[in-house]
């Protein structure tokens, strides 16, 4: 079993170690690969659930386990540390996903969900549910035991993917957006991008490296499958620095 763990604990945070330990306790033969997203970012989480679940070749015994569960829907005190419902979904390519259904966690795979069910597990009682409660259910599902699957949830209730927002900033400073190449139809070979209160003239290309060094470009990037997501790219530099280090969820406009 290969479990890809997507969570917002923070890069190199010991919380990842604790969850990996608990998963290995439940599934001694499992390999666990952690992927960190920014704190509370369901947009970044949903983006990587799509990329890892749909656009990399699926293989036997792959399971995505995600815990980005901001308890932000209510501003008052939370009774018994309650959070969003843990759910099981199966994508149309057969990849199983266990994730908390809050925010945009499921939005990027919304059109590819063929089964969506609640998992019978406590929604409260612990600040650290992804360590204390969830791994037992992940292990059961990984073994093919579906006894904990509860009520069906309507896929139609999952919010649609946000249309023009930052989804991820990689280590090179490339800004990956939620704009599909098929949705991007610029008028001319240059556009004005406004992002993070900064406006920049940007060259439009069909490939990120089809420009000289030092050119700020918008082009289809490395994520999104056949209909790629466009990204902002500064050859030889950092597009993120140029736009003031935007975070996932920051909206952008293109003119």
Domain definitions of the chain by residue range:
2-157, 166-254
If the chain, 255 residues long, is cut into consecutive pieces of 10 residues, what is the mean pLDDT of each piece?
Answer: 93 90 96 95 97 92 92 42 80 96 96 97 78 92 94 96 96 97 89 97 90 93 96 96 97 95
On whether the CB atoms of residues 133 and 184 are closer than 8 A, the answer is no
pLDDT at 74: 42
C-alpha dist (Å) from residue 235 to 109, 158, 186, 209, 213: 31, 37, 21, 7, 5
Question: DSSP letter at 31?
Answer: E
pLDDT at 124: 66
- Give the residue from 198, 90, 181, 85 showing the smallest Cα distance to 133: 85
Q: What's the CATH number for 166-254?
A: 2.40.30.90
Backbone φ, ψ for residue 246 (5° rounding): -70, 155
**Residue 79 is encoded by which pair of tokens?**
């009774």
30, with CB counted inside 10 A (0-12, 13-18, 19+), is middle
pLDDT at 72: 46
Question: DSSP letter at 197?
Answer: T
pLDDT at 209: 83
**End-to-end alpha carbon distance in the chain:** 47
The Cα–Cα gap between 110 and 46 comes to 10
pLDDT at 235: 94
Residues 6+ positions from 160 with CB-CB distance below 8 Å:
107, 110
Q: How many CA atoms lie within 13 Å of 179's alpha carbon, on the beta-carbon side?
A: 23
Q: Is the pTM of this model over 0.85?
A: yes
The Cα–Cα gap between 255 and 249 comes to 19
pLDDT at 70: 76
Fold of 2-157: Rossmann fold (3.40.50)
pLDDT at 73: 47
């Amino acid at each position: 079993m290969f479990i890809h763990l997507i969570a917002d604990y923070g890069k190199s945070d010991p919380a990842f170690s604790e969850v990996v330990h608990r998963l290995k306790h439940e599934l001694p033969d499992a390999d666990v690969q952690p992927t960190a997203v920014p704190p509370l970012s369901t947009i970044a989480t949903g983006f990587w659930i799509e990329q890892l679940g749909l656009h990399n070749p699926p293989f036997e015994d792959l399971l995505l386990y995600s815990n980005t569960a901001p308890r932000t829907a209510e501003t008052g005190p939370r009774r018994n540390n309650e959070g969003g419902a843990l759910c099981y979904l199966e994508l149309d390519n057969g990849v199983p996903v266990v994730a908390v259904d809050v925010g945009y966690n499921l939005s990027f795979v919304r059109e590819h969900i063929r089964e969506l069910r609640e998992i019978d597990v406590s929604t409260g009682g612990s600040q650290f549910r992804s360590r204390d409660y969830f791994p037992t259910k992940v292990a059961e599902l990984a073994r093919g035991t579906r006894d904990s699957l509860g009520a069906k949830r309507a896929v139609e209730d999952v919010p649609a993917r946000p249309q023009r927002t930052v989804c991820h900033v990689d280590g090179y400073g490339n800004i990956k957006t939620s704009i599909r190449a098929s949705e991007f139809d610029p008028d001319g070979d240059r556009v004005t991008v406004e992002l993070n209160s900064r406006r920049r003239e940007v060259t439009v290309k069909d490939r990120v490296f089809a420009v000289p060094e030092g050119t700020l470009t918008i082009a289809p990037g490395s994520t999104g499958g056949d209909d790629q997501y466009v990204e902002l790219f500064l050859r030889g530099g950092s597009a993120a620095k140029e736009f003031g280090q935007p975070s996932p969820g920051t909206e952008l406009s293109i003119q």
